[in-house]
Each structure stands twice: as C-alpha cells, then as structure tokens.
Amino acid sequence: MEGAAARERRHDGVPIDNRAAELAAGLQAERACIDPKFLYDAQGCVLFNAICELEEYYPTRTERAIFEAHRATIARALPSRIQWVDLGCGDCAKSRAWLGHVDAYRYLGVDIAADWIRREVAALGRQFPQISCVPVEADFSGDFDLHGSLDDPQANPPVFFYPGSSIGNFSPERAIEFMAAICREAGPRGSLLISADLRKDRRTMERAYADDLGVTAAFNRNVLRVCNRVLGSDFQPAEFAHEAVFDDVHGRIEMRLRAQKRQWVQWGASGRLFESGEAIVTEHSYKYTPEQFDGMLAAAGFSVRNMWTDPRSWFGVFLAQR
C-alpha cells in the first residue's frame, strides 16, 4: 500500500484501482483535485484522530453525546445475532462502545488503510473474544459490494455502521447511490446506522476544519506526502497553505491546498505547473438539514427512518431500515 507500485485490493482480491493513475488524473484536471480517501494513510489516520479531540471539531463529541444518550433505544431497535459492519472503521473506537450493547456475533471492520485496520481489528478481537472480528480492506468510494465477506443476511442481518458524518464526503447524488447499495446489501432485515453533520452557522462549520493549532492543516498537507509516495511526485507540502471555506450554494465545506508560489511539480514523465494562488481541492463535506437527509435515505430505499440529535440540532444520527 505504501509503495508507488502498490495496488490496493478489494476483499475478493480484485484490484480496487490504480492509485497512481487516479492521483495523476485528479492533479491533471482543469481544477486540480485529490480524492479524500488519500488523506487516510497511516499518518493521516493518526492526525485525524487528533483532530477529533480538538475544541473546534464539534462532530466527534456531539455524536458521542447522542450515542450515549440514545444507545439503549437504538440497540433495542436492532435484531439479534447481527453482523456489525463498521464502514471506515479506523481504530474501531466507536464500534468498541457499541459491541457491549448489541447482540453481535460477527464484526467486519472495513477500511482502505489495510495495515492500520489489521492491527486495530485484531486488538478488538482480543477485547471481544466471543465475536468473530474480521478486517476487510475495501475502497467504497467506488462500487460497493461486500457479498464476499457477509454471511447470510437473512439469517444474520447486517447492521451497517457509518458514523462520523463521512457520508458528507460524497456528493448528494453519490451518497444516495452508496446508501442504496447498502440497502440492497442489508437485505430485508438489515439496518443502516449513520451520522450526518447538520447545517449551522458558517463560523462554527469553518472553524471545525481550520483549527488554531494547525492539526487539520497538517492532516491536509500530509496528502501531498501520500502523492509523493504513491505517484513519485516531488510536492513540497510546506509550500501549500491549508484552506477550508463553506460554499453556501452547494451546502458544503471545501478543503483546499493553495500554492504559495509558482512551482512545477513533477511525477514520472508528467507534471503540472501550479501558479501562485492556484488550489488543489482535497475534500468536500456536505452539510444537510434533517429533512434533506431523511429524503436521501428514502430515495435510497429505506422505508423506516428515525433520527436523534443534540439540543442544538448540530448533528444527526439516523437509523434506517427496510
């Protein structure tokens, strides 16, 4: 995964994508971009965990408070003998808090960071020896298919757990497609437990992506180190400034890296001239009203939908079932 020649593989052994070609295509686009999945190498995962503890980054603590307040109610709404499918599991910390409250016989930790999740899922298995804990390396920014990893969904219904408002990294159209794929995988008895960041005042949203300590800036610039490692490019991360701006028209935070001077970046026989002030878009994070997100779940095929939120209605936790 770490080398320029490495190719990630899906759980069934099929290549997910050609990472170098994907990075090169994004950087050569009229408006340069990097898919946000590349933010989460091992170093990126460590930095993101640090972001989650920042004062400015409200989503983690707000979601945690909602889970703690409503965990028992949510757990009672789930069937027994479930497969707990942790999408983008990272260090498995959020699922660790749930596995003692739900009747799960199997845990699937799904993430793109293969080395990271193997270690973390193994540690989870030692804590919950009664649960079969399986790491699944997968990139669900493309086609989503876990049939090769799931047991019979009719006998053992899966609960797809997608916390942290990561669904906001997808465009609304792509988010509906992704949730519709989950709906199909879930079968008639499965569920989706998902979090979404809700719209609020601009300053609060922008500060969550541009903290005073500069941790988010380091997280964002780290993706250029990923490019250098995977693509063989010669980015100088210190020569790009971190930005995060709320786009009111599209309802999303746009995270960027802006060139501080005119510079040529080379990879292989190709490259790109970045003018001073030119930006690379590294992430979009969409923010929704409760009504908007409920409508997206309905469009994805979920007929039963419940939402829990915090006293300020900053964040929403949705349980969707067929």
Tens digits of per-residue pLDDT, 22-59? 999 999 999 999 999 999 888 998 999 899 999 999 99
pTM to 2 decimal places:
0.88
> Residues near 30 by Cβ (< 8 Å), separated by ≥ 6?
none
The total of other beta-carbon atoms located within 10 Å of residue 124's CB is 23
CB 190 within 8 A of CB 314: no
Dump pLDDT digits (tens) for 214-239. Answer: 999 999 999 999 999 999 999 999 99
Give the C-alpha separation, 40 to 51, whole Å.
13
Give the C-alpha separation, 119 to 72, whole Å.
29
Give the C-alpha separation, 116 to 1, whole Å.
11
Query: What is residue 32's predicted lDDT score, i.e. its pLDDT?
Result: 98
